[in-house]
């Protein structure tokens, strides 16, 4: 029993590190430059830009009902790693929000060179998500919806996530300038690589 818990903790460590890197990239590069993300994180960013709601809270609140539904329908091992990813992401988003509020970290806000911000965001977010995915975890959100759609309806997970991301990013045109949406596409492309 104890050995199993230690193995799971060791297997979860890259997920935790990956979510810390991802949270850093969001707060250091994405949010200060009003870039976007896809999926539930994109919705959390829209809520942050339009209503000033903290992403740490909104991502957790949006993931709870999805997680509850998925727990009943998907395999337990992947749901455990998804729980680790979802909870640690919300935790590290909160840590970054506190560090910025306390002026321990000053986000990189670009005046004109949004391409540099998009490139740095893409590399940072991609590195964080890569660690999470390689360890069998997710950060929740559209990944959970895609897995449920695949299991229940046979939908392609990749196509579903792409379509969901496209809708979220396109809806961001209501809150951010079109040029920043284009820079967002650069960041999302690099993240996916």
Say how far apart CA 148 and CA 171 lie, in whole Å: 24
5-21 pLDDT tens trace = 555 677 889 999 999 99
88, 15 Cβ separation under 8 angstroms? yes
Query: DSSP assignment of 112-167, as one string?
Result: S-HHHHHHHHHHHHHHHHHHHHHTT---STHHHHHHHHHHHH---HHHHHHHHHHH
pTM to 2 decimal places: 0.90
16-57 pLDDT tens trace = 999 999 999 999 999 999 999 988 999 999 999 999 999 999
73-124 pLDDT tens trace = 777 777 888 889 999 999 999 999 999 999 999 999 988 889 999 999 999 9
More confident residue, 164 or 4: 164
Q: What is the mean pLDDT of the chain?
A: 88
Q: Look at residue 147 and tell me whether its pLDDT is greater than 80.
A: no
**Those residues with Cβ within 8 angstroms of residue 73's Cβ, 6 or more apart along the chain or in another chain:** 148, 151, 152
């Amino acid at each position: 029993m104890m050995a199993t818990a230690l193995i799971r903790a060791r297997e979860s460590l890259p997920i935790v590190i990956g979510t810390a890197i991802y949270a850093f990239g969001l707060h250091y590069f994405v949010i200060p430059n009003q870039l976007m993300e896809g999926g539930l994180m994109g919705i959390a960013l829209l809520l942050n830009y339009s209503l000033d709601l903290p992403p740490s809270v909104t991502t957790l609140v949006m993931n709870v009902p999805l997680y509850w539904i998925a727990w009943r329908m998907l395999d337990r091992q992947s749901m455990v790693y998804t729980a680790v990813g979802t909870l640690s992401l919300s935790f590290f988003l909160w840590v970054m929000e506190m560090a910025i509020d306390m002026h321990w970290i000053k986000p990189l806000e670009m005046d004109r060179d949004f391409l540099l911000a998009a490139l740095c965001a893409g590399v940072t977010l991609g590195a964080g998500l890569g660690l999470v995915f390689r360890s069998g975890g997710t950060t929740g959100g559209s990944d959970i919806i895609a897995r449920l759609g695949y299991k229940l309806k046979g939908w392609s997970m990749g196509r579903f996530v792409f379509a969901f991301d496209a809708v979220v990013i396109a809806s961001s045109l209501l809150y951010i300038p079109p040029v920043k949406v284009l820079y967002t596409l650069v960041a999302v492309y690099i993240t996916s690589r």
